[in-house]
Amino acid sequence: MPTPAELEKKLWKALNDHATAFLGLSNAEHGHGRPMTLISEGGEHGPLWVFTTKDNDMVEAAHAGSAAFVHYVSKGHDLWACVHGNVTISYDRAVIDRLWNSHVAAWYEGGKDDPKIALIRFEPDHAEIWEDSSSVVAGVKTALGLSDPKKDAQGKKATVQL
């Protein structure tokens, strides 16, 4: 069974590999997230960034320190997380320059100088992380009566401070 620290490490590794998630404001009128591409700066801590536009509803509704959440599923669907934290809106050119890549560039006709660019900075605080316990091997063991899926799932969840 993985420890909470191991699950946290797996979460950061997964976010660095593939980071499309649902991002939402906790205090929003409708309270739902929207799919966004999160950019990590490659570490196991620190903020996650989202390139968006100044007229995005989330940018217009957010204010400094707005409570927010990220719902995440890894590319292999073997790790899930609900991450809570806060967002701030930034227009910092140094951050834009540092995080700019070809995927981001495809969305902005004016390049890095596009006047519509805004950044959402998500600062994670805590998360619940789940690891999948239903691999093919686990399925075969369950079908043969060699394991209990309920028991196998125990210990594959952690709440961590980020």
Q: Using 50, 70 and 90 to split pLDDT, how confident is the model at 143?
A: low
Q: Which residues partner with 66 through β-bridges?
A: 87
Radius of gyration of the chain (CA): 18
Read off the pLDDT of residues 81-137 as tens digits, 9 standing for 90 and up.
Answer: 999 999 999 999 999 999 999 999 999 999 999 999 999 999 999 999 999 865 544
Domain count, the chain: 1
Angle formed at CA 31 by CA 26 and CA 36, multiple of 5 degrees: 80
Grouping H, G, I as helix, E, B as strand and the rest as coil, residue 81 is strand
* Residue 149: C-alpha distances to residues 71, 113, 122, 128, 157 (Å): 24, 53, 35, 20, 14
> Domain range holding 157?
4-161
Return the CATH number at 94. Answer: 2.30.110.10
Distance CA 11, CA 130 (A): 9
